Amino acid sequence: MKIRLFEAGNSLRKLPQNLVDEDKKLFIHEENYFYKNTYLFEKNNVNIFNGILISLPLFRYFKKYTFFGDKTFIQRIKRIAKNYIISKSSKTIYIEKGLWFTDHKSHVYFHWILDSLQRAEASHDYHDKYPLLVREDFYKKEFVRESLDFLKFNFIVLKENQKYKIKNLRIVSKTAKTGNYNEEILSSLIKRFKDSSRKNEIKNGKNLFVLRTPNLPRSILNNLELNDLLKKYNFEFVQFEKLDFNEKIEILNNCKNLVGVFGSGLTNILFMNQNTNLIEIRERGDSHNNAFFSLSSALKVNYYYSFFSYSNNQCLVDIESLEKIFKTIFD
């Protein structure tokens, strides 16, 4: 059985506010995106172990809805075999009904919020009868636990290295290719977050710079020079990993300008208001990683871009380019 949840459609993206001719090649191919229908599939007697879905009667695994990226067939088979061997000795646990909405990248904050939770939101009407099935290794992540409770989703945690058989499984298709968005589903997910949060007055006054967790890639080489510029324009520093969802929603509900280096922290622009500003510091010449350009457009947040270049595996931020943007938005 195949149920259509949401119709296919087109996203026409608003190009960056500070776009210049020489940079058009970074964005122009993303200006118009077509997303497919979102479906719910029904499959019976599906075996699950460590995030691998196998239907023995159909002699198939569900690559499209569980694996992420372009791993080769051999790599996928090795992953399936490895996890089967790890789980082999466990006694099979039977679950009557469940709903599958994740893939192997769902442990990453960006992918959890903007891939998996969109799939969960698209299928929300079915959660009472078909609880979300959540891998235990994902559930150990604080943001996963918190978001499921915050949104009051009905779910079951599947233990690591344990074999399960789901008698009646519903699988949600991906709502769009990663870094792209079905805006109707996205809007519904944001509304659910905000409806679940503490109510607070919208001021739209703060200027925030996103701090990254120490020792992660893309640390900033010219940090002192950047800090001087941020202080000049009255930016405050925020580390989203230390905030719960109520705090994230509250602080971004009152944010006018958000600046950050490309990374999962920018996912939180979900909670900004329309006509505010995101300034993404992205790798110079990168025409591939446009997830936050696309997200800004879907949210009606004004998108600006500045650049960094790699130097000894660190980011050398283009301070002159960034200050030029600040002069534009603050004048």
pLDDT in tens, the chain (331 residues): 899 999 999 999 999 999 999 999 999 999 999 999 999 999 999 999 999 999 877 778 888 888 887 678 888 888 889 998 999 889 999 999 999 999 999 999 999 999 999 999 999 999 999 999 999 999 999 999 999 999 999 999 999 999 999 999 999 999 999 999 999 999 999 999 999 998 666 666 899 999 876 666 668 889 999 999 999 999 999 999 999 999 999 999 999 999 999 999 999 999 999 999 999 999 999 999 999 999 999 999 999 999 999 888 888 999 999 999 999 999 7
**Paired sense of beta strands 302-311 and 277-283, if any:** parallel
* Cα torsion through 238, 244, 246, 247, rounded to 10: -20
Determine phi and psi for 218, rounding to 5 degrees.
Answer: 65, 35
Q: What is the pLDDT of residue 46?
A: 96
**Paired sense of beta strands 52-55 and 38-49, if any:** antiparallel
Are 272 and 278 in contact by the 8 Å Cβ rule? The answer is: yes
* Cα torsion through 99, 103, 104, 110, rounded to 10: -120
Residue whose pair of structure tokens reads 């971004």 in the numeric block: 252
Are 133 and 165 in contact by the 8 Å Cβ rule? The answer is: no
* Cα torsion through 189, 138, 149, 155, rounded to 10: 90
Domains identified in the chain and CATH numbers: 37-175 (no CATH), 206-330 (3.40.50.360)
Determine phi and psi for 317, rounding to 5 degrees.
Answer: -75, 140
Nearest CA-CA partner of 269 in 297, 290, 227: 297
Q: What is the pLDDT of residue 60?
A: 84
pTM of the model: 0.93
Between the two ends of the chain, the Cα-to-Cα distance in Å is 57
Q: What is the pLDDT of residue 217?
A: 60
| Cα separation values, 323 from 227, 229, 256, 265, Å | 12, 7, 17, 22
Taking the CA of residue 134 as centre, how many other CA atoms within 13 Å lie in the half-sphere pointing to its CB? Answer: 26
110-116 long-range contacts, CB within 8 A, separation 24+:
110/264, 110/267, 110/291, 111/68, 111/178, 112/138, 112/141, 112/143, 112/144, 112/147, 113/147, 113/267, 113/270, 114/178, 114/181, 114/186, 114/267, 114/270, 114/291, 114/295, 115/174, 115/175, 115/178
Q: What is the pLDDT of residue 204?
A: 63
DSSP string, 255-286: EEEEEEESSGGGGGGGGSPTT-EEEEEEETT-
By residue count, the chain amounts to 331
In the chain, what's the furthest Cα-to-Cα distance?
A: 67
Q: What is the pLDDT of residue 203?
A: 63
